[in-house]
Amino acid sequence: MLSYTEENYLKALLQLTVEKGNKEGAGTNELAVHLNLKPATANDMLKKLKEKKLVEYEKYGKSSLTREGRRLATDVVRKHRLWETFLFEKLAFAWDEVHEVAEQLEHIQSKKLVDKLDEFLGFPGFDPHGDVIPNARGELQMRSTKTLHEEVVNHRCTMVAVKDNAASFLQYVNQVGLRINDTIHVLSRQPYDDLMEIEVNGKKSSISSRFAENIVVSCKDCDIAKPKIKSLNAIK
């Protein structure tokens, strides 16, 4: 059985590696900053989790999760996102309020509770921020990581998720009138500072590059331009 604290370290490592596509692993300081702790503390825990065979750690190297560590971390993420969905869908929390409470709820230990909750919510695929909810087998599907910042002028794309879950950013997104699944029309982009003008539901807004980098989108217009079939291992 993992402690509340150990679960948080595993989750942090998952976010710092797999989710960010950072294949080499996370550094001790990086981990400490992410968890709001001192590097010395993170260092102790990395050694402890290595002992438990949940983390691969070598002195002065980058750390990453073992298969077992990743499984456990994914389960914490699954619980986090199911609870966020519950709070949002059933208890009418705003999307900028769910994360904080889910940080606590994700540590409740009861297989049955998670499965029943999943069922009660109708086996949702995504949480209120558009993030994929891992399935009961602990598998986490990856999704488009393309951001609005990379979108082409004149294309119409769909907002699928937000990258930053901080309440301040989410409230700002609300203010702009953007919601998951909305269609965004990119009207223009200033070459100097990448300031974009967009239109959503008939409303025009100017958004900074920092803002645009935190909106994950998918775009049919782009997909048509690219070849549809990525024939990996086609030969052989």
Residue with tokens 């999943």: 118
CB 82 within 8 A of CB 124: yes
Q: Report the nearest approach of DNA to the CB of residue 192 (Å).
A: 24
Find the binder of Mn ion among 99, 117, 159, 211 (CB under 5 A): 99
CB 155 within 8 A of CB 186: yes
| Count, residues near Mn ion per rule CB under 5 A | 6
- In this complex, which beta carbon is closest to Mn ion, that of residue 74 or of residue 165? 165
Task: Provide the 3-class DSSP secondary structure of residue 81.
Answer: helix
What spatial distance separates the first Cα and last Cα of the chain, rounded to whole Å? 45
Q: Interface with its own copies by CB under 8 A: which range of 18-26, 92-100, 174-182, 202-210?
A: 92-100
The side-by-side arrangement of strands in the sheet containing 203-207 is 203-207, 196-200, 183-189, 156-162, 215-218
Contact flags string 106-145 toward Mn ion, x per CB under 5 A: ---------------------x-x-x--------------
Window 98 to 127, contacts with its own copies (CB under 8 A):
100-101, 104-105, 108-110, 112-113, 116-117, 120
- In this complex, which beta carbon is closest to Mn ion, that of residue 19 or of residue 199? 19
Judged by CB under 7 A, does residue 60 bind DNA? yes
Q: Residue 198's CB: how many other CB atoms inside 10 A?
A: 23
- Give dist(CA 227, CA 154) in Å, integer: 20
CB 73 within 8 A of CB 84: no
Task: Provide the 3-class DSSP secondary structure of residue 56.
Answer: strand
- Give dist(CA 134, CA 158) in Å, integer: 22
Judged by CB under 8 A, does residue 57 bind its own copies? no
Judged by CB under 7 A, does residue 66 bind DNA? no
- Give dist(CA 171, CA 166) in Å, integer: 9
Window 173 to 232, contacts with Mn ion (CB under 5 A):
none
- In this complex, which beta carbon is closest to its own copies, that of residue 92 or of residue 234? 92
Q: Which two tokens stand for residue 172?
A: 């700002």
Contact flags string 9-48 toward DNA, x per CB under 7 A: ------------------xxxx-----xxxxxx-xxxxxx
Find the binder of its own copies among 16, 87, 162, 184 (CB under 8 A): 87
Q: Report the nearest approach of Mn ion to the CB of residue 49 (Å).
A: 22
* Angle between helical axes of 28-35 and 4-16 (0-180°, round to 10): 120
User: What does the binding site for DNA look like in residue numbers (CB under 7 A)?
Assistant: 3-6, 27-30, 36-41, 43-48, 57, 59-62
User: What does the binding site for its own copies look like in residue numbers (CB under 8 A)?
Assistant: 87, 90-93, 97, 100-101, 104-105, 108-110, 112-113, 116-117, 120
